[in-house]
Structure 1
Amino acid sequence: MTPEILKTIVIQHPERTYFMKIRFFALLAGFLMLQSGANAQRLKIATVDMERLFNEYHKTTSVQRDINIERARIQKDNNLRLKDIRDIVDSLQEIREQLKDKELGDKKRQDLRQDASDLSQDGIHKERERSEFLERRNRTLSEKMTKQMRAILVTIQRAVSERAKAGNYDYIFDQSGNSNQGIPFVLHARDTTDLTDSLLEELNQDAPEDSKEGE
């Protein structure tokens, strides 16, 4: 699962994109100059796959499971509402068939037309309620999901930051990040340490037993 909040944000303003690229390449050039200096201190660099950390973190799995359960509940409720509306449509169709009877009395015909009008209004009301219900519940679920996913990202970023300090790393690059053209920012990195597995072990050390068994 790759959430929208993990995707690269594309800046719509060409000027900002241009200057952002200038700053990135300036930073990269400065980084290379630091490495190429004869007396430069050797930098300690590591990489991490943030997408994998997010996807394989037990809290992400738990949140996604809860979201799927809630989506199923919403769909079940929506299906029940749709059934009520279909029943109204079927009743209206039956009335239309009865109204085709040329031998139908005026009183009966008038009553059937009134029934059809009442059913039609009821159907319109129920469809409006269903639509508003679906929009409201989906919006609430989306907001809840975004909040929970952002909290998970903060936890992961904090773990990476603490590892950087503990390991005295100068740089930790996200190897899952891509440029706007879909090209990975880190194409090659020599003598670097991949911290992904050890960070996953750290993040999942408090995972429930049933979660560990499912891995």
Structure 2
Amino acid sequence: MMGSFFSINRGKQALLIIGASAGLVACGPAVNNSPGVATTVQDPSRQGAVSGIGIEGQDIQAMTDQMVRDMLSNPMLANAANPPQVIIDSGFFVNDSTQRMNKDLITNRLRVNLNRASLGRMVFVGRNYANMVEQERNLKRDGVVDTGTQGTTAAQAGGDYRLGGTIASADSRDAATGLMQRYTQITFEMVDLERGVIVWSGMYELSKAAADDIVYR
């Protein structure tokens, strides 16, 4: 009798455990076991698998390559007797378009490729590194470190010219078909930092249409 009683209790305990486990599974989040999309390597100079009506990787490459060629053909920038000191960053590059984007993607690529292609015909001032340079200059002048191999200067390098520009866009949508179209205009200008005159201007335009636009981040 006692053996039968313990066997019955053990059976009830097993059923309770199974029932509790089933309840936890039912209350837990649903698991989606459907297969995903495998990663593919995209050519950044071509339209990718996910594309819309905004500025994308291939557009950034095309516009910066065009601007580099155009700036190197300007005698004031590339053929001056003394290589001008230029600042190319996104500080005065304004995004007035309807697209959210990181402006540094454009200005960084422009600066890097122009620096490589100019071969010393321009000197690039890293204004974004001013705090880092100032810290090192203070260490040198306090005698904490030596002056290095280049010696010292009275002040950090000033800029002769600095990049400015605007990203602007005009959107339209066909209510009947859902088709969306965006015209985007990107202007680039090099401004004389003493006189305020514009010594070079460049423009890049694109127009795209799609039935289903994507979200840009």
- TM value normalised by structure 1: 0.23
The structure carrying a bigger strand percent of its residues is 2
Structure (1/2) with the larger helix percentage = 1
Normalising by structure 2, we get a TM-score of 0.23
